[in-house]
Chains A and B, each alone.
Chain A
Amino acid sequence: MDAKPKLLSVLDVVTGVLMAAATLAVFFYAPTERVMGAVQKVFYFHVAAGWVGMLGFLAALAAGVAYLRTHDAKWDIIGLAGVEIGMAFMLINIVTGSIWARPIWGAWWTWDPRLTTATIMELAYAAYLMLRQGIEEPDRRARFGAVYAIVAFISVPMTFLSIRIFRTIHPVVIGNGGDVPGAEGGFSMTPKMTQVFMFSLITWSVLFVDIFWHRIRLGKLANRVEQLKLKLGGRTA
């Protein structure tokens, strides 16, 4: 059992303080947008969550490649951690986007390329978790996880592109260009908004590192327990 590193404890505190500060900044420092009103403030954490969600999936891709090259169990732990955290943050991104879209675009859901791609990603990584669940042998589970993390990530840009072309040829269904951000629901950021936006991005990146670290430690613990189980199981059998 390894003790919690001091740096991690410090990081926990820093993350907590930053999150509190960013939340206060969003609610009290950032100005209210003239047309959209209060809901525009969802934007700060919405984008930040999407950004760190992508970081998680990117980490899983990199870990997948590294695992196939080295066959070091450490990369498997990192890959799984990346997918899990990516899914949690991407979920925040999708749901907050939907909440924002209801008053601004007039519908909870539109087939906007970004929204649709994010949701397909979420489904692909849910498939990743199901694949892992279906395999008992640790080594094979790690290899298949790595392969699927790579395949899933590669398809993402093409999915986005296909929906993008689809939209430009297809007539726009809702409003007049209502689901193309920038056409409606777009806004220009004031300096104060930019400051809060940048601060949110930094804060969420720190949050990401902190949670990622904790998740990796959990993964290592889970591996040790699995090894112990195999060892004891082998002896009694």
Chain B
Amino acid sequence: MEETLNTMSYLIAGYAVIFGVTLGYIVSLIVRTHNLRQDEGLLLSLDQGEDEG
């Protein structure tokens, strides 16, 4: 009968990485979408401003 290894800290580290990377990627998606939305709004208003001018 082999002894069960105490590997709890590795388990916690593993799931910290899993959720860290996943959440990090989701946050990067949100930030990039947000920035692009702002850019798009600005460019659209510029575009319309030029059409009138």
Contact = CB atoms under 8 A, between A and B. Distances in A.
Q: Consider the complex of A and B and state whether they touch directly, i.e. have CB atoms less than 8 Å apart.
A: yes
Interface residues of A, number: 41
Interface of B: 2, 4-8, 10-11, 13-15, 17-18, 21-22, 25-26, 29, 32-33, 36-37, 39-40, 43-44, 46-47, 50
Interface in A5-33: 23, 32-33
Given A36-B7, A38-B7, A103-B7, A225 B43 contact: yes
Contacts of A99: 10, 13-14, 17
Nearest to B33: A218
Contacts, number: 99
Contacts of B44: 228
B29 A46 contact: no
Nearest to A48: B18
A207 B22 CA distance: 10
A235 B8 contact: no
Contacts of A214: 29, 33
A39 B14 CA distance: 8
Interface string A213-235: 01101100110110011011001
